[in-house]
């Protein structure tokens, strides 16, 4: 397993930036449930919790432990959730942009630089379009290739976002027990597709994802 470092953050701190914010999302490709973005700002003297890595590679218990430890050592952190209704109304791309902006606006101290996974480059560079964060021009944003694997702030953001979203989907399973949300967390697994075929779509399914093809 590749463990992320603070190499990127250190270079930015040495360049004069004080509050480097790592961002990552969870649930962008799911069939159901909200999209969630985590934001984490580490202090320059941070001692990283042991085992931080890409959240997708960690066991649930490890993620939960790390999420609590990350929150304790971070200068600031935030979680932003965008509803299925918004996803259906504006599309997943714009909904993800909104989640990133919401997470940055919410985190304290106010970031002076943001880093995020390069996969989201086309979406996140629009983060500065919000009147509340105009100081984050493109020069103060960096898309990092494999960021959730190599950059500690991004990995940490992915962990707190996934722990939050997983718990949310487990709770939603109690309301919609026929779909297996507690197990697959809304992703389009074969079991989820079969459940849609048998029970139809529920209120937290993303109708904008053309899920009707799984009904027959």
Beta carbons of 63 and 53 less than 8 angstroms apart: no
pTM: 0.92
- C-alpha span between 187 and 43 (Å, rounded): 34
- C-alpha span between 117 and 55 (Å, rounded): 13
Q: Is the pLDDT of residue 131 over 50?
A: no
7 annotated ligand-binding residue: no
Q: What is the pLDDT of residue 138?
A: 79
What digits encode the pLDDT tens for the residues 24-60? 999 999 999 999 999 999 999 999 999 999 898 899 9
Beta carbons of 201 and 213 less than 8 angstroms apart: no
Beta carbons of 40 and 190 less than 8 angstroms apart: no
CA 214 to chain CA mean position, Å: 27
What is the band of 14 on the pLDDT scale with cuts at 50, 70, 90? very high
- C-alpha span between 119 and 143 (Å, rounded): 8
Q: Three-class SS of residue 79?
A: strand
Q: What is the pLDDT of residue 143?
A: 87
pLDDT cut 90: percent of the chain above it: 77
What digits encode the pLDDT tens for the residues 50-99? 999 989 889 999 999 999 999 999 999 999 999 999 999 999 988 988 99
Beta carbons of 56 and 154 less than 8 angstroms apart: no
Per-domain residue ranges of the chain: 7-175
117 annotated ligand-binding residue: yes
Q: What is the pLDDT of residue 54?
A: 87
What is the band of 216 on the pLDDT scale with cuts at 50, 70, 90? confident
Q: Is the pLDDT of residue 128 over 50?
A: no
The arrangement of secondary structure in 7-175, i.e. its CATH architecture, is 2-Layer Sandwich (3.30)
Average pLDDT, rounded, for the chain: 91
């Amino acid at each position: 397993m590749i463990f992320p470092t603070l190499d990127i953050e250190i270079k930015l701190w040495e360049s004069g930036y004080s509050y480097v914010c790592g961002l990552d999302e969870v649930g962008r490709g799911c069939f159901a449930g909200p999209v969630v973005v985590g934001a984490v700002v580490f202090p320059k003297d941070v001692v990283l919790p042991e085992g931080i890595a890409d959240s997708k590679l960690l066991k649930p218990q490890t993620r939960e432990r790390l999420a609590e430890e990350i929150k304790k050592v971070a200068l600031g952190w935030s979680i932003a959730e965008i509803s299925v209704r918004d996803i259906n109304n504006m599309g997943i791309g714009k909904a993800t942009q909104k989640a990133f902006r919401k997470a940055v606006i919410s985190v304290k101290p106010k970031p002076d630089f943001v880093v995020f996974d390069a996969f989201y480059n086309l979406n996140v560079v629009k983060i500065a379009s919000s009147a509340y964060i105009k100081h984050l021009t493109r020069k103060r944003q960096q898309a990092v290739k494999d960021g959730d694997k190599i950059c500690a702030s991004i990995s940490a953001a992915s962990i707190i976002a996934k722990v939050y979203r997983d718990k949310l989907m487990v709770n939603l399973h109690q309301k919609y027990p026929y779909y297996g949300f507690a197990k697959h967390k809304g992703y389009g697994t074969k079991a989820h597709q079969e459940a849609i075929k048998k029970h139809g779509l529920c209120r937290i399914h993303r109708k904008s994802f053309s899920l009707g093809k799984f009904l027959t």
